[in-house]
Structures are given as C-alpha cells and as structure tokens.
Amino acid sequence: MAEDRFACRECHYINEPDRQTCGSCGSSSLTEDWAGYVIITHPERSAVAEEMNVSEPGGYALKVR
C-alpha cells in the first residue's frame, strides 16, 4: 500500500517502508509526509517526468513535505 511507504525529500522517489536510504538517489532524507502518486514508465517521453526532473522509471510523490 502506498501510504505505508516513504518518499525521498530530494528526488520524490517512493521507497519501501524498510528502506533507510532512497533506492533512487541514496539520500537518507525520507518521510511519510507526502501526497499524490505518479508512476513514470517512460521518463524520456513524459512531460510530467521532465517537469519533475525524473530520469528513471518508478513511483514518485507529487508533493513531499
């Protein structure tokens, strides 16, 4: 379930609850305080990925506090 996961404050990547560091950028700044969820499958063809500065496929939080 997405609500149990942690979002990275740096890159907004959604991580599994047992992670201590972000699986995408390696940051240790993870939070449960996030909202919105987008799955990027083809970042090279996605306007949303470009706007979010995302280059890797995966799940991302739209808003991280």
Domain ranges of the chain: 2-64
For residue 39, pLDDT beyond 60? yes
pTM, full prediction: 0.90
CATH fit for domain 2-64, picks 3.30.1490.20, 3.50.50.60, 2.20.28.90, 1.10.10.10: 2.20.28.90
CA distances to 13, 16, 45, 52 from 10, in Å: 8, 16, 22, 11
Quick one: pLDDT at residue 4?
A: 87
pLDDT band at 2 (very low <50, low <70, confident <90, very high): low
Average pLDDT value over all residues in the chain: 95
The percentage of the chain sitting over the pLDDT mark of 70, rounded to a whole number, equals 95
User: Residue 51, class by beta-carbon neighbours within 10 Å (0-12 exposed, 13-18 middle, 19+ buried)?
Assistant: exposed
Distance of CA 53 to the CA centre of its chain: 11
Here the tokens at position 13 are 């990547």
Quick one: pLDDT at residue 55?
A: 95
The percentage of the chain sitting over the pLDDT mark of 90, rounded to a whole number, equals 94
